[in-house]
Structure 1
């Protein structure tokens, strides 16, 4: 069962899709925070996996690119009237051929993806063991057969290694940049805000490496508080508060919220999460 706001947004999106690429989207499944029971109005995106009938030609691709723009107009409008640099509620996802769904997930060739402001052909980060596990076990069917009828293979034997590679690659690279004199930022999103939004993702991967289960970022905050040293607790609590739209927790020191220092603090925390995951992996 989808939250009412999500159901309306998905219905609008599919209505546009059916006009632009009629009869092509045979299956549509909501994953991400919605499937994990952690979707929050005004802050969460809506993630999907779409099964397409056949392949997609150039004309179809152009229309899918248009779908991303038109289908997300309501979310963009709400962000504009609220003067937000980010666009929560964006419908992001990946398109795959329906005939490929029964293949092992790492063997599936994505057709296209919608992600943030971009549309890319032949790409689809979401086609991975984590998303496919969520799709199989908790995915919400909007159109098409139930996920357990699709013959999905999330390749559970690759789940831990995939998460570890994400920590070693993407997150280690970000941590190194966060520790530099010019930490990463995005248009209209300063470095300290971007850094704070990243705090809960690495502990989430750490949890999957240790337990084999996928959890939301909110649940990852609780896991991180139980797993990592108390010196990181103010940072974790602050990141959770920002994610759920709460005020700064009592006891969070000024150094944690200092825009000049917080990216470095986040970088140091991410490196500790990576080191812990590596240590656990060696002990298995």
Structure 2
């Protein structure tokens, strides 16, 4: 195969990537030095870059970042093959077999007409495969917000969940009241930091649960708010600069004028 020529089929283009990976691993000083551990943090970075592109709706950037991630998957497989642990064929066959096994409503006799039935079947099959807990598949290193969502989704998969969203909102209000009781600034009493933190965690967990019930991804929602705040704050900074002022020397009332302008953009 000529690696300098684009290929017009999935199989050929993937084979081209594998050939290039072989060349890089054998000839490039940087690629030759990489290990599973050295690639790990780079893969995390690439995943976040893909996430950014998705939130921005930039399809060309999404395509580029998918390519970067695919390179990492091929790289890991190449390293695995060098130690006779696994190769790219093992990886592809492994995921194919898992998907077939976990979709008995497609490749077997099981009936699953709804998304919820599919999720329930999925969790039951994972337990049969050897998972000791429904929650065992939630990575411990996930960011806390994402982890809370995944924990709740997996618990729902085996029927441990509220039945109606109004019940979830009642839980939010209950947790809010418990937090306010623990952190009652009106009383001016020094709080127990550990208890307040625990109650705040319960409140966040219940809000994430409610978001799930109304089909809002809390991670996406918070990131969009982060971006909105950054945009407005940078507008505020630029206006202060136009006035030859620093934010530290502006009153809150002055900053609010520009903040409200930013909200209209």
Classify the TM-score, shorter chain: under 0.3
Higher strand proportion (structure 1 or 2): 1
Q: Provide the TM-score with structure 1 as the length reference.
A: 0.24
Task: Work out which structure has the larger RCO, using CA pairs closer than 8 Å and 6 or more positions apart in sequence.
Answer: 1
Q: Provide the TM-score with structure 2 as the length reference.
A: 0.25
